Structure 1
Amino acid sequence: MTDAALRDADTEVRDGMRISWDVPVSMSDGTVLRADIFHPVDEGRYPVIMSYGCYAKGLSFQTAYKAQWDRMVQDFPEITEGTTNKYQCWEVADPERWVPDGYVVIRIDSRGAGRSQGVQNVWSMQEIWDYYECIEWAGEQPWSNGNVGLLGISYYGANQWLVASLQPPQLKAIIPWEGTSDWYREVFRHGGIRNGFLDLWLPKQLAMQHGYGERGARNPITGELVAGPETLTDDELEKNRVDKVAEVRAHPLLDDYYQGLAPDWSKVTVPVLSAANWGGQGLHLRGNIEGFTQAASESKWLEVHGLEHWTHFYTPYGVGLQKRFFDHFLRELDNGWDQQPKVTLQVRQIKPGDHGSIAGEFVERGEDAWPLDRTQWTRYHLHGHDHTMTLEKAGAPAQAEYDAAGPGVTFSSGIFDETMEITGPLAAKLFISSTTDDADLFLVLRVLDPIGREVVFRGAMDAHTPVAQGWLRASHRRVDPKRSTPYRPYHLHTVREPLEPNEVYEVDVEIWPTSVVVPAGYRIALTVRGKDYEYDGPTDGGDNAAHRYPSRGVGPFVHNDPIDRPTEVFGGAVRVHTGGEHESYLLLPVIPSQAR
Structure 2
Amino acid sequence: MEDGVRIACDVYRPKAPGSHPVLYAHAPYIKDSVDLPSSGMYRYRETGNIARWVSRGYVYVHADVRGSGKSEGSFFPWGDREQRDSYEMIEWAAVQPWSNGKVGMIGESYYGMAQWAAAMHNPPHLACIAPYDAGADVYRHFVYKGGILATGFNNHWFNNSIRGRHFLDFPERPKRGDYMTYDFQLDYYRHPTFDEHWKSRRFDLRAIKVPTFSIGNWEGLQVHLLGNLQGFMQTSGPKKLLVNSGDPQKLFQEDLIEQSLVRWYEYWLKGMDNGTMKEPPVRIYVRNGEGYRDEQEWPLKRAETRNLYLSAGRSGVVDSLNDGALSWTSPRGGSNPTSYYSPDPAWTIPGTGNTVPGRFGLSHTTRKILTFTSPPLDQDLEVTGPLVLNLWASSTAADTHFIVNLMDMAPLPPDVAAAFKLLDASPPARRVTAGWLKASHRALDPERTTPLSPYHTHTDPQPLKPGTVYPFAIEVWPTCWVFKAGHRIRLDLASFDGQTHLGHLRGTDSFYHDAERPSHLVLSAVPKKQA
TM-score, structure 2 normalization: 0.87
The counterpart of 1:559, out of the listed 481, 495, 500, is: 500
User: In the alignment, is the contact (CA less than 8 A) between 2:207 and 2:236 conserved in 1?
Assistant: yes
Residue 503 of structure 1: aligned partner? 468
Q: Give the Cα–Cα distance (whole angstroms) in 1 for the partners of residues 181 and 124 of structure 2.
A: 30
Residue 46 of structure 1, CA deviation: 0.9
Residue 93 of structure 1, CA deviation: 2.4
Task: Describe the shift of the 1:259–1:587 C-alpha distance in structure 2 as closer, same or farther (beyond 3 A).
Answer: same
Report the 3-state secondary structure (helix = DSSP H, G, I; strand = E; otherwise coil) of the residue aligned with 2:155.
helix
Residue 207 of structure 1, CA deviation: 4.4
The counterpart of 2:293, out of the listed 343, 355, 365, is: 365
The counterpart of 2:393, out of the listed 408, 432, 449, is: 432
Residue 403 of structure 1: aligned partner? 341
Letter in 2 for 1:216: D
User: In the alignment, is the contact (CA less than 8 A) between 1:112 and 1:241 conserved in 2?
Assistant: no
Residue 593 of structure 1: aligned partner? 528
User: In the alignment, is the contact (CA less than 8 A) between 2:163 and 2:180 conserved in 1?
Assistant: no
User: For residues 497-523 of structure 1, what are the alpha-carbon distances to aligned partners after superposition, in whole Å with 9 as ceiling and x for unaligned?
Assistant: 111111100000000111111211111
Letter in 2 for 1:326: Y
Report the 3-state secondary structure (helix = DSSP H, G, I; strand = E; otherwise coil) of the residue aligned with 2:156.
helix
- Aligned pair 1:379/2:344, yes or no? no
Q: Any residues of structure 2 matched to 1:104-115 within 5 Å, and which?
A: 104-115=59-70
Runs of 4+ in 1 over 6 A off after TM superposition: none
Letter in 2 for 1:206: R
Q: Any residues of structure 2 matched to 1:19-38 within 5 Å, and which?
A: 27-38=1-12
Residue 135 of structure 1: aligned partner? 90
Residue 203 of structure 1: aligned partner? 159
Report the 3-state secondary structure (helix = DSSP H, G, I; strand = E; otherwise coil) of the residue aligned with 2:193.
coil
Residue 515 of structure 1: aligned partner? 480
User: For residues 73-107 of structure 1, what are the alpha-carbon distances to aligned partners after superposition, in whole Å with 9 as ceiling and x for unaligned?
Assistant: xxxxxxxxxxxxxxxx8100222212222211110
Letter in 2 for 1:524: I
Q: Give the Cα–Cα distance (whole angstroms) in 1 for the partners of residues 197 and 27 of structure 2.
A: 21
Residue 174 of structure 1: aligned partner? 129
Residue 110 of structure 1, CA deviation: 0.8
The counterpart of 2:28, out of the listed 49, 54, 63, is: 54
The counterpart of 1:216, out of the listed 169, 175, 193, is: 169
Residue 19 of structure 2: aligned partner? 45
Report the 3-state secondary structure (helix = DSSP H, G, I; strand = E; otherwise coil) of the residue aligned with 1:425.
strand
Residue 524 of structure 1: aligned partner? 489
Report the 3-state secondary structure (helix = DSSP H, G, I; strand = E; otherwise coil) of the residue aligned with 1:322.
helix
User: In the alignment, is the contact (CA less than 8 A) between 1:396 and 1:580 conserved in 2?
Assistant: yes
User: For residues 13-66 of structure 1, what are the alpha-carbon distances to aligned partners after superposition, in whole Å with 9 as ceiling and x for unaligned?
Assistant: xxxxxxxxxxxxxx1111111111111112211110110110111214645x66
Residue 245 of structure 2: aligned partner? 306
The counterpart of 1:154, out of the listed 87, 104, 109, is: 109
Report the 3-state secondary structure (helix = DSSP H, G, I; strand = E; otherwise coil) of the residue aligned with 1:349.
coil
User: In the alignment, is the contact (CA less than 8 A) between 1:284 and 1:309 conserved in 2?
Assistant: no
Residue 278 of structure 2: aligned partner? 339
Residue 392 of structure 1: aligned partner? 329
- Aligned pair 1:94/2:49, yes or no? yes
User: For residues 118-167 of structure 1, what are the alpha-carbon distances to aligned partners after superposition, in whole Å with 9 as ceiling and x for unaligned?
Assistant: 22222322211111110010011111111100000000001111111111
Letter in 2 for 1:397: G
User: In the alignment, is the contact (CA less than 8 A) between 1:46 and 1:103 conserved in 2?
Assistant: yes
Letter in 1 for 2:131: P
Report the 3-state secondary structure (helix = DSSP H, G, I; strand = E; otherwise coil) of the residue aligned with 1:28.
coil
Question: Unaligned 5+ residue runs, structure 1?
Answer: 1-26, 73-88, 218-224, 351-361, 457-465, 534-557
Residue 10 of structure 1: aligned partner? none
Report the 3-state secondary structure (helix = DSSP H, G, I; strand = E; otherwise coil) of the residue aligned with 2:90.
helix
Residue 191 of structure 1, CA deviation: 0.4
Report the 3-state secondary structure (helix = DSSP H, G, I; strand = E; otherwise coil) of the residue aligned with 1:115.
coil
Q: Give the Cα–Cα distance (whole angstroms) in 2 for the partners of residues 493 and 470 of structure 1.
A: 15
User: In the alignment, is the contact (CA less than 8 A) between 2:78 and 2:117 conserved in 1?
Assistant: no
The counterpart of 1:192, out of the listed 147, 150, 153, is: 147
Residue 308 of structure 1, CA deviation: 1.6
CA-atom RMSD in angstroms: 1.9
Q: Give the Cα–Cα distance (whole angstroms) in 2 for the partners of residues 67 and 581 of structure 1.
A: 49
Q: Any residues of structure 2 matched to 1:482-497 within 5 Å, and which?
A: 482-497=447-462
Residue 285 of structure 1, CA deviation: 0.7
Q: Give the Cα–Cα distance (whole angstroms) in 2 for the partners of residues 594 and 342 of structure 1.
A: 20
Q: Give the Cα–Cα distance (whole angstroms) in 2 for the partners of residues 284 and 66 of structure 1.
A: 18
Residue 527 of structure 1, CA deviation: 1.3
Task: Describe the shift of the 1:341–1:404 C-alpha distance in structure 2 as closer, same or farther (beyond 3 A).
Answer: farther
Question: Unaligned 5+ residue runs, structure 2?
Answer: 315-323, 345-367, 418-426
Residue 234 of structure 2: aligned partner? 294
Q: Any residues of structure 2 matched to 1:62-81 within 5 Å, and which?
A: 62=36, 68=41
Task: Describe the shift of the 1:66–1:468 C-alpha distance in structure 2 as closer, same or farther (beyond 3 A).
Answer: closer
Residue 519 of structure 2: aligned partner? 584
User: For residues 244-269 of structure 1, what are the alpha-carbon distances to aligned partners after superposition, in whole Å with 9 as ceiling and x for unaligned?
Assistant: 11111111111111112222233201
Task: Describe the shift of the 1:129–1:58 C-alpha distance in structure 2 as closer, same or farther (beyond 3 A).
Answer: same
Q: Give the Cα–Cα distance (whole angstroms) in 1 for the partners of residues 86 and 454 of structure 2.
A: 33
Residue 81 of structure 2: aligned partner? 126
Residue 67 of structure 1, CA deviation: 5.1
User: In the alignment, is the contact (CA less than 8 A) between 1:383 and 1:389 conserved in 2?
Assistant: yes
Letter in 1 for 2:169: G
- Aligned pair 1:572/2:507, yes or no? yes
Identity across the alignment (%): 32
Q: Give the Cα–Cα distance (whole angstroms) in 1 for the partners of residues 202 and 84 of structure 2.
A: 14
Task: Describe the shift of the 1:66–1:492 C-alpha distance in structure 2 as closer, same or farther (beyond 3 A).
Answer: closer
Q: Give the Cα–Cα distance (whole angstroms) in 1 for the partners of residues 201 and 34 of structure 2.
A: 30
Letter in 2 for 1:586: L
Report the 3-state secondary structure (helix = DSSP H, G, I; strand = E; otherwise coil) of the residue aligned with 1:594.
coil
Q: Any residues of structure 2 matched to 1:241-260 within 5 Å, and which?
A: 241-260=181-200
User: In the alignment, is the contact (CA less than 8 A) between 1:192 and 1:472 conserved in 2?
Assistant: yes
- Aligned pair 1:442/2:377, yes or no? no
Residue 328 of structure 1: aligned partner? 267
User: In the alignment, is the contact (CA less than 8 A) between 1:113 and 1:208 conserved in 2?
Assistant: no
Q: Give the Cα–Cα distance (whole angstroms) in 2 for the partners of residues 68 and 566 of structure 1.
A: 30
User: For residues 145-193 of structure 1, what are the alpha-carbon distances to aligned partners after superposition, in whole Å with 9 as ceiling and x for unaligned?
Assistant: 1110000000000111111111110101001100110111011100001
Residue 353 of structure 1: aligned partner? none
Q: Give the Cα–Cα distance (whole angstroms) in 2 for the partners of residues 108 and 274 of structure 1.
A: 22
User: In the alignment, is the contact (CA less than 8 A) between 2:39 and 2:249 conserved in 1?
Assistant: no
Report the 3-state secondary structure (helix = DSSP H, G, I; strand = E; otherwise coil) of the residue aligned with 2:142.
helix
User: In the alignment, is the contact (CA less than 8 A) between 2:75 and 2:182 conserved in 1?
Assistant: yes
Q: Give the Cα–Cα distance (whole angstroms) in 2 for the partners of residues 206 and 52 of structure 1.
A: 17
Residue 384 of structure 1, CA deviation: 2.6
User: For residues 531-562 of structure 1, what are the alpha-carbon distances to aligned partners after superposition, in whole Å with 9 as ceiling and x for unaligned?
Assistant: 117xxxxxxxxxxxxxxxxxxxxxxxx203xx
